[in-house]
Chains A and B, each alone.
Chain A
Amino acid sequence: MLANILAGVQSVFMPLNLLFMFLGLFVGIIFGALPGFSATMGVAVCLPITYGMNPATALILLSGVYCGGVYGGSIPAILLGIPGTPASAPTAFEGRPLTKRGEAGKALGICTTASSIGGFASAVALLMASPLLAAVALRVGPPETMMIAIFGLSVVCMLSPDKFFKGLLVAAFALLLATIGQDPLYGYARFTFGKLNLLSGVSVVPILIGIFALPEVFEMLETPDGKLVECATVGRLLPKFSDFAHNIGNLIRSCLIGIGIGIIPAAGPDIAAFLSYNQAKKSSKHPEEYGTGSVEGIIASETANNAVTGGSLIPLLSLGIPGSAPAALFLSALYLHGMQPGAGLFTTNAATTYTMMVGFAVINILLFFTGILFCKFAGRIVIIPKSILSTAIVVLAVVGSYSITKNMFDVYQMFIAGFVGYLLQKNDFPVSPVALALLLGSLLEKSISQTTVMYPDNFLAIFTRPITIVFTLFIVIAFGWPVFQKIRKGSKEKNTSERI
């Protein structure tokens, strides 16, 4: 393996490969940064360009677009409060308040560094432990996926502790929405009213574009004059060492969550970001800072969502199962270049595979420099007059929603979601549970259906599976935590009042 890695290192630093890394990162960041566009679209657009390329260079270009795309989504999340991709939604919770305080540069710098670290860690896992982690991925079956989905839903409790019941209500409604479409077991159409457009369920990404982007636009329209921030510069972009020195545990945990979620086929960067953000909040000494511009929150979210990139390629390269939507396009790229996922990639095509995997690590280092450079210019977006900015966001949201499946029905869903999101915000309902419930709803339903088929006579037999037991414990802690905190807070207050 070492010889292959060394050969990969030699090949990666060829000028052409380096050029395509930068090009891929640049294209990816733009796709990620435009609300409504995504890493998946970036990879899809670049795929035909790679037909005539050397396979290693082609995969390097696509890797650059993938990493850049996942990172790029955080830029509008921080500057405008609109996540460029759903995976950056938790980043928006903390990044936007920092921008409002005139600390956009700090938020962007921390986000870029965290993304680079997360991506690099996943690249190392991809390079060193692919076969081992692929074996773990095989052990994750429907009962474990079901538990991961339930565990993910527990995040709702933590996302809005002050609006606990409102959050649960919104999540329950979104879970009901997620049942629209074909039944996962027999393919019955449910609540589709004969409309083929609803057969695969509601379109999650357009709805999330609408629910996150349009309320911001409506808010801008309430006071259409002026700019978001009057300051012309974003401030210092390079983060302080102390920001990360205090977050070593947070970084390691977020990397592990990202890589772990990445190797599970059904879950992607969005779920990883929410889970990691939630865990960081639980472990924080200052959970009260969350929602007001917490550096820890940005680090957790961005490290995890970028750590998914390398993680999602592990089952892809070893088993042919894409761990995320952009990874599925890598599968096409492999076949189009005459390569087949599986053991052969690490033997017959070792030169190409190791060049790509080493390239993945280098790309994530370059991501830091490209990202900082990009943020220097992108930061100026906040000084664009609101009237122009809001128009541009609506245009991008429409184009982005339409381009996913080239279907106007998705655009209508985006607008409906936008209006509903605005009404929810105006009435003090949290909207982030919608994202979680929509992302996890179908995953949960499908895994429950599969599990019932696996254990038709005794559903409780799922607790004979070790990974299921571990996740069950996590769930118990997750749901019990707010209650525990409430009791602890109550007893502290009681003690204080007794002392007084």
Chain B
Amino acid sequence: MMKKVLTGLLSVGLAFSLVACGSSTGGASSPTDDKKETTESDTSEESQSESASISDWKPSGAVTIICPYGAGGGQDVAARLFAQYATEIAGVSFVVDNQTGGSGTIGNTAIASAKPDGQTLGMFHNLSYYDEFTTEGVAYNADSFTQLCAFTADASIIVVNKSLGVTDLKGLMELAKNQNITWGGPEFSSQTYPRISMEALTGESFGHMVFDGGATSLAAVAGGNCNVTSVFPSEYATMETNENIVPIAVTGEERMEAYPDIPTMIESGYDTTFSQIRSICIPANADAAVVAYYDNICKQVLDNAEFQKSLQEGGFAPINYVGEAAAAYMQETYDANIEGIIEAVEAVTK
């Protein structure tokens, strides 16, 4: 009796499969259709193999994002925002680990020397590429990292104390010819790079005042303890109503949407720009499947409208480069600034 039932079921199954085959292969088919079918089938195979390679690998547990800078700073906030959205999208925890010290070199060394097994990522910025020139004993270079995505390009605002009586960059440089002007910010950071460029372009020099961060430098300018600094828009926004500070230029290629009245350095007559590019990287030599997995996650995070909104609310200027495009973009900025950085390092060491 059992055999009969089984035979019956198999027969019905076979009948259904024959009907299905008939409907897919039956009827006249033109060569074009064949070609189309082949292409569709190839594409589907390709996407299958792509998704296979993506799904082939997944993090075995929480993913650590090493942030070489302390809590509260731009790198930390950017890393935490990325981690928040990546966790939601990937369904795996992304945990920010602040490994500070040595002006970021301790954390960058930890990223570069981590196993490229996909469990450790790094919060990176383009100035870290130059650490091998600016900091003694650094054992990593641009080749030690694979860039997964670049998601903000943050220009700075050059701000002066009102008592200087200048309203533009030209006025500041004129004043610097006859007066000791102090320019504050952390050494070899995006806050001081505009100063380095201006010194290189004009031959004038400023008194270097080293502060822990942009907010502290800006407070020093507002309090009359320092003459000039350059800060990120998020830092400027905290004190933009202060009557003692005057913004004179922005360091990006274009004016900022939030501050359309502030001219760029180029518009002010000085052919230079600088933006800090923030990216997520993985130690070099990671497996292609690992990189593919993160490319996919990064793409989803960067395409997320809420993430873009959060970045803007945090005072960042979002960009969207994933995978090889991110690597190429970072390389481009590296090439654009390397000469200026080496000149500045030589000037300091002299």
A residues apposed to B, CB below 8 Å: 44, 47-48, 51, 137-142, 182, 184-187, 189, 192, 194-197, 199-200, 265-266, 315, 318-322, 325, 327-332, 335-336, 338, 340-344, 405-407, 446, 449-450, 453-454, 456-457
Contacts and interface: CB of A to CB of B under 8 A. Distances in A.
> 3 nearest interchain CB pairs?
A141-B225, A331-B72, A342-B238
A319 B136 contact: no
Contacts of A187: 103, 134-135, 187-188, 210, 348
B327 to A, nearest CB: 25
Nearest to A317: B238
Contacts of A457: 180
A201 to B, nearest CB: 9
A336 B80 contact: yes
B103 A199 contact: yes
Contact of B314 (A200, A320, A328, A335): A335
Contact of A340 (B73, B99, B237): B237
Contacts of A321: 215-216, 219
Interface residues of B, number: 61
Interface of B: 70-73, 76-77, 80-81, 83-84, 95-103, 105-106, 109-110, 134-139, 180, 182, 187-188, 207-212, 215-216, 218-220, 222-226, 234-235, 237-241, 310, 313-315, 348
A320 B235 contact: yes
Contact of B84 (A51, A189, A450): A51
B93 to A, nearest CB: 8
Contacts of B98: 44, 405
Given A331-B72, A332-B71, 5 more contacts: A142-B209, A199-B135, A315-B219, A328-B70, A342-B237
A137 B219 contact: yes
11 contacts: A47-B71, A139-B223, A141-B226, A196-B109, A325-B71, A329-B72, A335-B234, A336-B77, A338-B313, A407-B101, A454-B209
Nearest to B106: A196
B136 A197 contact: no
Nearest to B138: A196
Nearest to A145: B225
B77 A332 contact: yes
A407 B314 CA distance: 30
A453 B208 contact: yes
Nearest to B101: A200
A271 B180 CA distance: 34
Contact of B71 (A141, A329, A450): A329
Contact of A319 (B99, B138, B188, B239): B239
Nearest to B182: A453
Contacts of B80: 47-48, 332, 336
A340 B77 CA distance: 12
Nearest to B231: A320
Given A332-B76, A332-B77, A450-B210, A319 B106 contact: no
Contacts of A51: 84
A320 to B, nearest CB: 4
Contacts of B313: 338, 340
Nearest to B217: A321
A312 to B, nearest CB: 12
Given A189-B135, A320-B235, A405-B100, A328 B77 contact: no
Contacts of A318: 238
A330 B134 CA distance: 31
Given A142-B225, A331-B72, A456-B180, A199 B84 contact: no
A185 B211 CA distance: 9
Contacts of A139: 223
A51 B87 CA distance: 11
B106 A405 contact: yes
A185 B188 CA distance: 11
B137 A189 contact: yes
A139 B138 CA distance: 38
A319 B209 CA distance: 19
A344 B269 CA distance: 34
A219 to B, nearest CB: 32
Contacts of B219: 137-138, 265, 315, 319, 321
A185 to B, nearest CB: 6
Nearest to B244: A138
A196 B101 CA distance: 9
A58 to B, nearest CB: 13
A194 B135 CA distance: 10
B225 A340 contact: no
A139 B216 CA distance: 12
Contact of A338 (B208, B211, B222, B310): B310
Contact of B238 (A185, A340, A407, A449): A340
A488 B209 CA distance: 45
Nearest to A201: B101
B220 A141 contact: yes
A131 B180 CA distance: 31
B207 A406 contact: no
A371 B207 CA distance: 50
B347 to A, nearest CB: 10
Nearest to B83: A48
Contact of B210 (A184, A189, A330, A338): A184
